[in-house]
Amino acid sequence: MARAEQSLVADYNNPASLEGRAFIVLGAGQGIGRQTSHALAQAGARVFCVDRDAELASAIAEEVKGFAFVADVTSRADMERAFAEASSRFGDTPRGLVDIVGVADIHTIAETDDASWTRNFDLNARHAYLVIQIGARVMTKGGAMVFVSSTSGTHGIENEVGYGAAKAALNHLVHGAAHELGPQNIRVNAVTPGFVRTPRLLAALSEEFWASLKDHIPLGWAAEPSDVARAILFLASDMSAYVTGAVIPVDGGLSVGAPVPHIPFAPGMQARVGARP
């Protein structure tokens, strides 16, 4: 007869709690960044809201009762200042970092010039290297780093070779940093959204386009920024305490399908792959 297990049962009551922890959010001003700032604050975190637009940084900081900071994430000096200021404002070392920043400079390979290639890597990969390097020095008590990548970094998408290559580099950076920073108790993960109804994309794409996505996304709709923010909260909190080096799709199933044409099987017809009829 088996004996009853006596091991300690974990506390599952509120595993998403970030009560009292200090978090830095880069690109906090709108879209996914704004929703993530609210998600972290509602979970109890104190939030340091960084954006290159002073008005946006101030607005979100006021909403979540956090701190506003204006910076260029591609500048090492600005990132050094941001982490130093955050530590000073919090009176403690940050326990988390969420990096939302990313811009797609979209061209065919033939039309991509050096400036476009550099812009994609500066805004999607190089700045993440700065953030990881500087953040790891400051996060002396451990914590979580979460980056927003893209399905373009895992799948070939039309006219997005430069952007996709930069996001693929970000994904590899996440894998490598997770391995290197694990002994410091710093977890490093990323999410890969597909189509998200952010202010920038809503302004750029028609409602007809958004409606057409139901034919390509298994769940039938494009993500709202809050859908991505929930996944980020999971990776930022103790709900994912044993998860590091993960690059998690948050795309409604967009990336799990193969772009094959409709196969017109008749009702009741059975197909035997590789066999003659």
Check if 12 is active-site: no
Is the Cβ–Cβ distance between 147 and 99 less than 8 Å? yes
> What tens digit of pLDDT does each residue of 166-182 get?
999 999 999 999 999 99
- Helical H segments across the chain, by residue range: 32-42, 54-64, 76-90, 114-121, 127-138, 161-181, 199-204, 207-212, 225-236
Cα atoms found within 13 Å of the Cα of residue 226, Cβ hemisphere only: 2
> What tens digit of pLDDT does each residue of 93-151 get?
999 999 999 988 888 999 999 999 999 999 999 999 999 999 999 999 999 999 999 99
Question: What number does CATH give the domain 22-249?
Answer: 3.40.50.720
What the block records as the tokens of 124 is: 């999607």
When the pLDDT of each residue in the chain is averaged and rounded to a whole number, the result is 92
> What tens digit of pLDDT does each residue of 175-202 get?
999 999 999 999 999 999 999 999 998 9
Query: What sign for the dihedral angle of Cα 26, 31, 34, 36?
Result: negative
Q: How far apart are CA 56 and CA 30, in angstroms?
A: 7
Q: What is the largest distance, in Å, between two alpha-carbon atoms of the chain?
A: 74
What the block records as the tokens of 231 is: 């996944």
Question: Residues 12, 129, 163, 242: which is the catalytic one?
Answer: 163
Q: Region 221-245: what's the mean pLDDT? A: 97
**pTM (two decimals):** 0.92
Q: How far apart are CA 6 and CA 149, in angstroms?
A: 42
The residue ranges of every structural domain in the chain are 22-249
| % the chain with pLDDT above 70 | 94
Q: How far apart are CA 29 and CA 52, in angstroms?
A: 9
Three-state DSSP at 189 gives strand
pLDDT at residue 263 is higher than 70: no
